[in-house]
Structure 1
Amino acid sequence: MVILEKPYISDLMLEYLSQHNIPVLANDFARESAKRYQLNLLTDSQMKAEYERNGKIYITSENALDWIYNNLSNHEIIEKISVLKDKFKFRELLRPMYPDFLYKEVTEEELDEINFEKFNPPFILKPSIGFLSLGVYTIYNRQDLEAAILDIKESKMNWKSNFPNSVIGDSKFILEQYIPGTEYAIDAYYNDDGKPVILNIFTHKFASTTDVSDRVYYTSKEIIDTFKHPFELFLTEANQFLQLKNFPMHVEVRVDGNVICPIEFNPMRFAGLSCTDVAYYAYGIRTIEYFLQNKEPAFSEILKGKEGHLYSLILLDKPDKSIPCSVFNYDKLYNSFENVLELRKVNNPNLDIFGFVFTQTQKKNEKELDYILSSDLYEFCDY
């Protein structure tokens, strides 16, 4: 069973749900989507009965967590989601794996009282409950901290207007030590035996050490070959404490040498805003299908012929949210890449983006990813 929710769902996902008659909650967002694709819409009571029957649920947006909290309150899934959504509780649960990891939870009022010298920089400041890179700041000096606190105060009303409390939480924040290394994202699920099944691994590419944007992610045969086994061991160890079954998740980690340190486990979904579709363009994997049908990718076969290629997801975030999508030159952007697999134009007032691009790039041409990563995108706007 699947819950569709705003702000966005891809046609690729809707095609699968329609073709396979997957049970979908009949909320406003799904009814709107059903104008374009025939969907198997179920009422609240039917969805609850369906969950009782098979115990599997997938959400396309964390906005759907409200329905789960309100309708499945007597199920263990609520406790599991709550722990993963709360970054402080999550750190507490995995403390045995990382006994020396430093972190502290503070209220918004306590931000102004932080003893900067006591909490050894660099460190990360972010909401205890959050989504994407909302309110995530890398703090190197006192000026960074002061700027972050000011931005939080100025931005919090905008966050609250765009996301429900279940997504962004209250006004608590977590300070945690900076995690060095390369950042990776993992779309995976724990099956009905609690075994981790990895569906995709992609690296988060940054423009600089202070960059926290979500502009570029890419996956490759080399990434899968290198990290699938160690990430499986990591997820297996973590589940000794998490105790998850039939549970999809989007996991973010950093790898420094042989150390794998989690950033967060995002519950009940894979990469948000349908960005998990990069697995389809790279490997022919519909991640939701693999979860709902308990399938495991045969990567030894899937990866044949993929050597030397990067498969990227590029988020076209607006440099200024007041810029209309109508001025964006999608053709110029399209022509700046070696091989565009899909260009998704998104004109949604609830999303400050122009759209997404899925690309295939030869490793030797990775400079095109570096270029788009550093661009403010004004060059693609025709005024």
Structure 2
Amino acid sequence: MILLDYPYVSDFLLQTIIENKFEVIATKEAKQIAGNKFNNWIAEEDAARRLRDNPHTPIYTNSENSISWIQQHTQGTGLPEIIDLFKNKYKFRQLIKTAYPDYFFKAVAVEKLRSMDVSGFKFPFIIKPAVGFFSIAVYKVDSPEAWTGTVAKIEQDIIRTQSLYPKEVIDNTEFIIEQYIRGEEYAFDCYFDVKGNPVILNILHHVFTSENDVSDRVYSSSPDIIQKLQSPIHDFLAVIGSKVNLRNFPLHIEIRMDEKGKLFPIEVNPMRFGGWCTTGDLSWFAYGINSYEHFFYSKKPDWESIFQTRKGKKYSLILLDNTTGFKPEEIAGFDYDALLADFENPLHLRKIDLDKFGVFGFLFTETSEKNESELTEILHSDLKKYIQLKSGFKNAIMI
């Protein structure tokens, strides 16, 4: 079964549902999103009954907004507890702390941030919502002197985003402070099959401009990245599987690898792949892997065959977030054609309403090894070159 919700459902996911006749739970939101595209609806009460009868029934959601549906309709199945265990970073770190005995983390209520004395903490450290999404209110703190300014930024983030996502997606009442792990960051989609075995569907390198960068601008995948990370990620998933009984369960996970090659969890997102149908769709554009079909049919990618036709290629997911310095009300438009012209092989462009969601869109690309400078350029770009300003603000583009 599929549980559709806002803010976004891709055409690729919709087409996959239609072609495979996957059952869609007939929520109000799903009906609004799909209209008359489907004839394979399942009533909410029937879906809930099926999950209560068999909590291992395969279910996938495109959006964390639908977590509230699970919490309301599947009490007694164990699903709400599993979801909360993964969504709450503090609880998840408690779960696996025996595998990371020296790892520092601490929960703190938002109203206590300003009065907290952090002078005795080891710097740098990371602070972020215990339940969060989209790198919102995530900051690296380098010194005690930076604490007050960081708290002020967090308070502004809370005001700015509290109406955009439900509490189940972002809960700013509690934050987690944890040690900063130096190393490379990665994200991947996977699922645990009917027997509880993990299956990896993609692996992406989350690239940053510096140690202080916490943005989501560029994620890149390649045969080399997958081959390098596949084995240690399987070992990491084995730790999770030893703690939680997962069957027919999809996950989107972000990790960091330290200089010794040990993986540390950043966040584990239950019941879905990457938000906004990003990483799940990228697997198709990049490798011809339909992640949704693989999950529901319990299929495993034939990586060796796939790699034979992708040698020397890198596949990237690029978030076009508003780093221009201009407010949405100052911006008349975004020159998507100019953006596409700056890339060797754009695979797919996803335009998003800036006024509603604060981003211009997502771009999926294929890049040859010799041309990786295009990824470096977009990583460091403030995107001003693509901005069309409203009358009265045009002189500001030169500042």
Shorter-chain TM-score category?
over 0.9
Q: Which residue of 2 aligns with 1:278?
A: 282
Kindly indicate whether residue 262 of structure 2 is the aligned counterpart of residue 259 of structure 1.
Answer: yes
Tell me how far 1:117 sits from its aligned partner.
Answer: 2.1
User: Contact conserved, 2:328 with 2:355, CA < 8 A, in 1?
Assistant: no
Equivalent residues in 2 for 1:47-58, closer than 5 Å: 47-51=47-51, 52=53, 55-58=57-60
Separation in structure 2 between the aligned mates of residue 39 and residue 368 of structure 1, nearest angstrom: 43
Tell me how far 1:245 sits from its aligned partner.
Answer: 1.9
How many equivalent pairs are there? 383
Deviations 1:182-227 (A, max 9, x none): 0000100111221110000001011111111111101001111111
Separation in structure 2 between the aligned mates of residue 334 and residue 144 of structure 1, nearest angstrom: 39
Separation in structure 1 between the aligned mates of residue 263 and residue 254 of structure 2, nearest angstrom: 10
User: Contact conserved, 1:24 with 1:39, CA < 8 A, in 2?
Assistant: no
Deviations 1:149-201 (A, max 9, x none): 11222221332211111111251111000011100001001112211100000
Tell me how far 1:323 sits from its aligned partner.
Answer: 4.9
Tell me how far 1:369 sits from its aligned partner.
Answer: 0.7
User: Contact conserved, 1:201 with 1:224, CA < 8 A, in 2?
Assistant: yes
Q: SS of 1:172's equivalent?
A: strand
Kindly indicate whether residue 40 of structure 2 is the aligned counterpart of residue 13 of structure 1.
Answer: no
Equivalent position to 1:101, from 100, 103, 109: 103
Q: Which residue of 1 aligns with 2:338?
A: 332
In the superposition, the TM-score normalised over structure 1's length comes to: 0.96
User: Contact conserved, 1:127 with 1:172, CA < 8 A, in 2?
Assistant: yes
Q: Which residue of 2 aligns with 1:82?
A: 84
User: Contact conserved, 1:106 with 1:173, CA < 8 A, in 2?
Assistant: yes
Separation in structure 1 between the aligned mates of residue 87 and residue 277 of structure 2, nearest angstrom: 19
Q: SS of 2:308's equivalent?
A: coil
Q: Which residue of 1 aligns with 2:201?
A: 199
User: Contact conserved, 1:17 with 1:39, CA < 8 A, in 2?
Assistant: no
Q: SS of 1:12's equivalent?
A: helix
User: Contact conserved, 2:331 with 2:388, CA < 8 A, in 1?
Assistant: no
Kindly indicate whether residue 313 of structure 2 is the aligned counterpart of residue 309 of structure 1.
Answer: yes
Q: Given residue 24 of structure 2, which amino acid in structure 1 is its aligned partner?
A: V
Q: Which residue of 1 aligns with 2:392?
A: none
Tell me how far 1:357 sits from its aligned partner.
Answer: 0.7
Q: Given residue 23 of structure 1, which amino acid in structure 2 is its aligned partner?
A: E
Separation in structure 1 between the aligned mates of residue 327 and residue 300 of structure 2, nearest angstrom: 40
User: Contact conserved, 2:345 with 2:365, CA < 8 A, in 1?
Assistant: yes
Q: SS of 2:101's equivalent?
A: coil
Q: Given residue 267 of structure 1, which amino acid in structure 2 is its aligned partner?
A: P
Separation in structure 2 between the aligned mates of residue 286 and residue 323 of structure 1, nearest angstrom: 38
- Give the direction of change, closer, same or farther, for the CA distance of 1:324–1:268 in structure 2 (3 Å limit): farther
Separation in structure 1 between the aligned mates of residue 189 and residue 354 of structure 2, nearest angstrom: 25
Separation in structure 2 between the aligned mates of residue 31 and residue 324 of structure 1, nearest angstrom: 34
In the superposition, the TM-score normalised over structure 2's length comes to: 0.92
Separation in structure 2 between the aligned mates of residue 143 and residue 363 of structure 1, nearest angstrom: 42
Q: Given residue 329 of structure 1, which amino acid in structure 2 is its aligned partner?
A: D
Q: Which residue of 2 aligns with 1:183?
A: 185
Q: Given residue 3 of structure 1, which amino acid in structure 2 is its aligned partner?
A: L
Deviations 1:340-362 (A, max 9, x none): 01112222643111111110001
Separation in structure 2 between the aligned mates of residue 43 and residue 325 of structure 1, nearest angstrom: 43
Deviations 1:7-49 (A, max 9, x none): 1111011110112111112223322332373352222112223
Q: Which residue of 1 aligns with 2:35?
A: 35
- Give the direction of change, closer, same or farther, for the CA distance of 1:222–1:88 in structure 2 (3 Å limit): same
Equivalent position to 2:303, from 289, 299, 304: 299
Equivalent position to 2:353, from 347, 351, 369: 347
User: Contact conserved, 1:122 with 1:178, CA < 8 A, in 2?
Assistant: yes
User: Contact conserved, 1:325 with 1:354, CA < 8 A, in 2?
Assistant: no
Deviations 1:263-305 (A, max 9, x none): 1111111111111211111111111111111111111111112
Tell me how far 1:326 sits from its aligned partner.
Answer: 5.2
User: Contact conserved, 2:131 with 2:171, CA < 8 A, in 1?
Assistant: yes
Separation in structure 1 between the aligned mates of residue 32 and residue 253 of structure 2, nearest angstrom: 30
Equivalent residues in 2 for 1:157-176, closer than 5 Å: 157-176=159-178
User: Contact conserved, 2:257 with 2:263, CA < 8 A, in 1?
Assistant: yes
Equivalent residues in 2 for 1:112-261, closer than 5 Å: 112-256=114-258, 257-261=260-264
Q: SS of 1:161's equivalent?
A: coil
Q: Given residue 28 of structure 2, which amino acid in structure 1 is its aligned partner?
A: D
Q: Which residue of 1 aligns with 2:112?
A: 110
Separation in structure 2 between the aligned mates of residue 131 and residue 94 of structure 1, nearest angstrom: 21
Separation in structure 2 between the aligned mates of residue 86 and residue 215 of structure 1, nearest angstrom: 24
Separation in structure 1 between the aligned mates of residue 47 and residue 300 of structure 2, nearest angstrom: 26
Q: Which residue of 1 aligns with 2:383?
A: 377
Q: Which residue of 1 aligns with 2:45?
A: 45
Tell me how far 1:243 sits from its aligned partner.
Answer: 2.7
Equivalent residues in 2 for 1:63-74, closer than 5 Å: 63-74=65-76
User: Contact conserved, 1:4 with 1:60, CA < 8 A, in 2?
Assistant: yes
After the TM superposition, list the runs of 4 or more consecutive aligned residues in structure 1 that deviate by more than 4 angstroms.
323-326
Q: Given residue 373 of structure 2, which amino acid in structure 1 is its aligned partner?
A: K
Q: SS of 2:118's equivalent?
A: coil
Q: Given residue 214 of structure 2, which amino acid in structure 1 is its aligned partner?
A: V
Separation in structure 2 between the aligned mates of residue 321 and residue 2 of structure 1, nearest angstrom: 36
Q: Given residue 359 of structure 2, which amino acid in structure 1 is its aligned partner?
A: I
User: Contact conserved, 1:183 with 1:203, CA < 8 A, in 2?
Assistant: yes
Separation in structure 2 between the aligned mates of residue 323 and residue 170 of structure 1, nearest angstrom: 27
Tell me how far 1:112 sits from its aligned partner.
Answer: 1.7
Tell me how far 1:144 sits from its aligned partner.
Answer: 2.9
User: Contact conserved, 1:93 with 1:242, CA < 8 A, in 2?
Assistant: no
